[in-house]
Amino acid sequence: MNIVLHDVCLRDGLQMERQTVPTPVKLEWLRRLVQTGVDVVQVGSFVHPGKVPQMADTDELFRQFLSSGDVPAGVVLSGLVLNEKGLERGLAAGVGMFCMGVSASETHSRKNTGMAVDEATGRIIAMAHQAAAAGHPVQVSVQSAFGCGFEGAVPPEEVLRIVRRYLDAGLTRISLADTAGHATPDRVERLFDEIRRIDAGVELACHFHNTYGMGLANTHAAMRAGAVSLECAVGGLGGCPFTKIAGGNVCTEDLVHMLQHMGIRRDIRLDGLTSLAGALAAHFGRELPGLIYRSGGIPEYETAHA
């Protein structure tokens, strides 16, 4: 199975932290992260620094790291943009892959972007075409795809309506994001299956939050239904500052530990991820939501049980 690991710790993981992380510290974490073998690292988001102060140095992070020569061959540096100004900044900074999306919840959409869903969708599609015309891969997402902390249930039909607009616009790299953490494995499989029935050529990605403890199970369900790109964050840090109850992301090292015991992505350095998670925990002075960096992994036992 060709699974892509997309770590979002430096963006989604840090945006909820009140303690601003200095740029040199982020650069060191970024250097350690790209050396673990993950495929895509989200360096930050190009948003207004007054709304998300932790992301104020995203432009500088890209410029300094790209000029350092520390980016291993094959590793993609992604960035999140919400509007045309963010896209302009991202293009200037050297973003490798652009991530942008629309919430399926009207309330969350207005809190996150100040726009209604339909307006946001039209603008995101135009931005995606602009980024693609400039030679950059683009991943578009549907946020609050499984529920909203403000509105409650989000009808699958609304998610599929946005997905169809993406597909009609020629955008086939699509992520479903469980912003509020309301997803369950059965609903995940049904929704991803439905998208694949609409277009078998879609490249599916998933982004789950562990608000209610189901993040890893939901990620596995998405894999079963054809998701090939899995988003996660070292230590399980993160959460959306514009949702009602913010929960951390699926933990990168916990996910990699599970995959490797399934015989998948054994090339990724789990020890590098757990070491980095420990460094983040020391920096913030608290235990992180992740488990494997504290407990250690399950010992290999396949030979003994063969």
Q: How many CB atoms lie within 10 A of CB 294?
A: 12
What is residue 302's three-state secondary structure?
helix
Distance CA 101, CA 24 (A): 29
pTM: 0.94
What is residue 113's three-state secondary structure?
helix
Band (pLDDT 50/70/90 cuts) for residue 5 is: very high
Please count the residues of the chain: 306
Looking at every residue in the chain, the average pLDDT score rounds to 92
How many Å separate Cα 305 from the centre of its chain?
A: 36
Active site residues: 240
pLDDT (tens digit per residue) in 137-156: 999 999 999 998 777 888 99
pLDDT (tens digit per residue) in 203-255: 999 999 998 999 999 999 999 999 999 999 999 998 554 444 445 899 999 99
Tell me the Ramachandran region of residue 69: left when phi exceeds 0, alpha when psi lies from -120 to 50, beta otherwise: left
Q: How much is the pLDDT for 120?
A: 87
Given a contact cutoff of 8 angstroms between Cβ atoms, the answer to whether 4 and 251 are in contact is: no
Q: Residue 84 is encoded by which pair of tokens?
A: 């045309």
Distance CA 30, CA 89 (A): 20
Q: Which helix (H) or strand (E) holds 173?
A: strand 173-178
For residue 210, what are the contacts with CB-CB under 8 A and spacing of at least 6? 181, 216, 236, 247, 248, 249, 250, 251, 289
Q: Which helix (H) or strand (E) holds 166?
A: helix 156-168
The pairing of strands 203-208 and 173-178 is parallel
Q: How many CB atoms lie within 10 A of CB 74?
A: 8
DSSP collapsed to 3 states, 272-297: HHHHHHHHHHHHHCCCCCCCHHHHCC
